[in-house]
């Protein structure tokens, strides 16, 4: 299966900011002149679904979630580590609002780029525009994979997906810091906190993971992948 096709991921796997490598020195200066850097605390809202989209946001440091809201209900579309872009769907003509909300999982540093300036770079630089299109395409694949996971897999498969995504696409190591709470993991896997805790305990007892106070280590990635695949 091609590397870009992902049916169990919850995040992009490569460095999306490689698109900025295509900018000339003059365009980089223009980018800097039309942007500002802001620090966000854990739990702060980065953008609100339905609000006016005045900026495209670059997550330079931290961890965040992208989600849909409907009253008291919410659905996480993906989680974003540092070096990611938030708000690209707002670039479409005729759409002036954010189609989703974004919130920090931990303290974050974000660069806000004036949206018309960002559009100007796309219009003037074909290589930059091509990279943005590629990112939007990958995001669509990831969202499709998320919906498949949430609608077709059982709880064990969904939580295995989350752990694999954290290891392979967020932290890129089988031993990663426990920066997400049980509630966060449950929300991503779309299950109760009780079920999440029970399955984590089962994975631990079966020798698939080791849970420490400050980190989780996947010790049997083949078996966890099998659970993910069979759902």
Q: Which pLDDT band, with edges at 50, 70 and 90, does 141 fall under?
A: confident
| 7: in domain | no
Q: Which of 134, 150, 166 finishes a domain?
A: 150
Q: Which of 126, 150, 174 finishes a domain?
A: 150
What angle do helix axes 193-205 and 155-165 make, rounded to 10 degrees?
80
Describe the strand order of the beta sheet including 45-47 as a list of residue ranges.
45-47, 101-104, 63-70, 73-81
Alpha carbon distance 177, 219 (integer Å): 15
> In this structure, what DSSP letter does residue 52 have?
B
Please check whether residues 141 and 202 belong to one and the same domain.
no
Q: What is the CATH number of the domain that holds 212?
A: 1.10.10.10
| 45: in domain | yes
Could you count the other beta carbons within 10 Å of the beta carbon of residue 18?
12
Please check whether residues 163 and 133 belong to one and the same domain.
no
| Choice between 46 and 73, residue whose per-residue pLDDT is larger | 46
Q: Is the pLDDT of residue 87 over 70?
A: yes
pLDDT of residue 2: 38
Describe the strand order of the beta sheet including 175-177 as a list of residue ranges.
175-177, 215-218, 209-211
Q: Is the pLDDT of residue 7 over 60?
A: no
pLDDT of residue 201: 96
Please check whether residues 51 and 119 belong to one and the same domain.
yes
CA 198 to each of CA 201, 204, 231: distance values in angstroms, whole numbers, following the listed order: 5, 10, 17
Please check whether residues 74 and 106 belong to one and the same domain.
yes
Q: Which domain holds residue 63?
A: 16-150
| 205: in domain | yes
Total count of domains within the chain: 2
Q: Which pLDDT band, with edges at 50, 70 and 90, does 1 fall under?
A: very low
Alpha carbon distance 180, 139 (integer Å): 22
Please check whether residues 127 and 200 belong to one and the same domain.
no
Please check whether residues 146 and 158 belong to one and the same domain.
no
pLDDT of residue 94: 75
Chain position carrying tokens 């974004």: 102
pLDDT of residue 100: 94
| pTM for the full predicted model | 0.84
pLDDT of residue 12: 56
- Mean pLDDT (the chain) is 88
| Choice between 53 and 135, residue whose per-residue pLDDT is larger | 53
Tell me what the mean pLDDT of segment 210-220 comes to: 94
pLDDT of residue 230: 84
Q: Which of 99, 133, 150 finishes a domain?
A: 150
């Amino acid at each position: 299966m091609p590397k870009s096709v992902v049916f169990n991921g919850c995040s992009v796997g490569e460095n999306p900011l490689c698109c900025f490598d295509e900018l000339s020195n003059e365009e980089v200066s223009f980018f800097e002149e039309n942007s500002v850097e802001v620090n966000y605390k854990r739990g702060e809202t980065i953008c609100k679904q339905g609000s006016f989209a005045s900026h495209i946001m670059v997550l330079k440091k931290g961890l965040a979630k992208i989600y849909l809201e409907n009253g008291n209900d919410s659905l996480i579309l993906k989680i974003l580590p540092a070096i990611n872009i938030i708000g690209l769907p707002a670039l479409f003509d005729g759409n002036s609002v954010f189609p989703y909300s974004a919130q920090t999982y931990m303290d974050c540093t974000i660069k806000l780029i004036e949206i018309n300036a960002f559009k100007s770079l796309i219009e003037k630089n074909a290589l930059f525009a091509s990279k943005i299109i590629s990112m939007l395409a990958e995001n669509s694949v990831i969202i499709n994979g998320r919906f498949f996971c949430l609608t077709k897999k059982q709880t064990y498969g969904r939580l295995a997906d989350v752990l694999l995504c954290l290891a392979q696409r967020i932290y890129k190591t089988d031993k990663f810091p426990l920066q997400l709470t049980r509630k966060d993991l449950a929300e991503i896997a779309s299950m109760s906190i009780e079920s999440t805790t029970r399955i984590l305990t089962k994975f631990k007892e079966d020798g698939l993971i080791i849970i420490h106070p400050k980190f989780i280590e996947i010790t049997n990635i083949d078996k966890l992948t099998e659970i993910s695949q069979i759902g």
